[in-house]
Amino acid sequence: MLLTGMLAGLITLTGLAGDVMSHHTKPIPLHRQQIDQTMVKISEFNAMGDFESLTIPLKRAGKLILVEAIIDSIPGNLIFDTGAMGLVLNSIYFRKSQQSGGKVSGGITGKLNSLSKTKVKNMQISDLYYENLITDITDLGHIENARQVKVLGFFGLSLLADFEVVIDLNNNVLELHRTDWSGKRTSQPELTAVFDLTLPVTSVSEVLFVEARIGTKKLTFCLDTGAESNVLSSDLSGKILNTVTVLRRSKLRGTGTQSAEAIYGVMNDFSIDDHKIPGMQTIITNLTAMKTAYNMYMDGMLGCDFFEQGVFYINLKRNKIGICLNKNQKK
pLDDT in tens, 104-148: 444 443 344 456 888 899 999 999 999 999 888 988 998 899 889
**pLDDT, average across residues 61-75:** 95
Residue 30: pLDDT over 50: no
What whole-number distance in Å separates Cα of residue 34 and Cα of residue 236?
Answer: 24
Residue 82: pLDDT over 80: yes
Q: What is the pLDDT of residue 180?
A: 92
pLDDT band for position 255 (cuts 50, 70, 90): very low
Question: 75 — phi, psi (to 5°)?
Answer: -85, 150
Q: For residue range 180-222, what is the model confidence (pLDDT) as tens digits?
A: 999 999 887 666 678 999 999 998 877 899 999 999 999 999 9
pLDDT band for position 327 (cuts 50, 70, 90): confident
Residues 6+ apart with CB under 8 A from 194: 324
Residues 6+ apart with CB under 8 A from 83: 1, 15, 17, 156, 207, 222, 223, 224, 225, 226, 227, 301
Residues facing 322 on adjacent strands: 198, 313
Contact 151, 76 (CB under 8 A): yes
Q: What is the pLDDT of residue 328?
A: 60
What whole-number distance in Å separates Cα of residue 12 and Cα of residue 142?
Answer: 10
Q: Which domain holds residue 145?
A: 1-331
By CB neighbour count within 10 A (0-12 exposed, 13-18 middle, 19+ buried), where does 129 fall?
Answer: middle
What whole-number distance in Å separates Cα of residue 228 and Cα of residue 282?
Answer: 9
Q: What is the pLDDT of residue 155?
A: 92
Helix, coil or strand: residue 157? helix
Q: What is the pLDDT of residue 272?
A: 95
Q: What is the CATH number of the domain that holds 83?
A: 2.40.70.10
pTM of the model: 0.82
What whole-number distance in Å separates Cα of residue 222 and Cα of residue 61?
Answer: 22
- Our count of domains for the chain comes to 1
What whole-number distance in Å separates Cα of residue 300 and Cα of residue 263?
Answer: 14
The conformation of residue 142, written as its DSSP 8-state character, comes to: H
Q: What is the pLDDT of residue 190?
A: 65
pLDDT band for position 27 (cuts 50, 70, 90): very low
Question: 192 — phi, psi (to 5°)?
Answer: -105, 5
Of 114, 113, 88, 90, nearest to 100 by C-alpha is: 114
Question: 255 — phi, psi (to 5°)?
Answer: -70, -20
Q: For residue range 227-243, what is the model confidence (pLDDT) as tens digits?
A: 888 999 999 999 999 99
**Of residues 95 and 39, which shows the higher confidence score?**
95
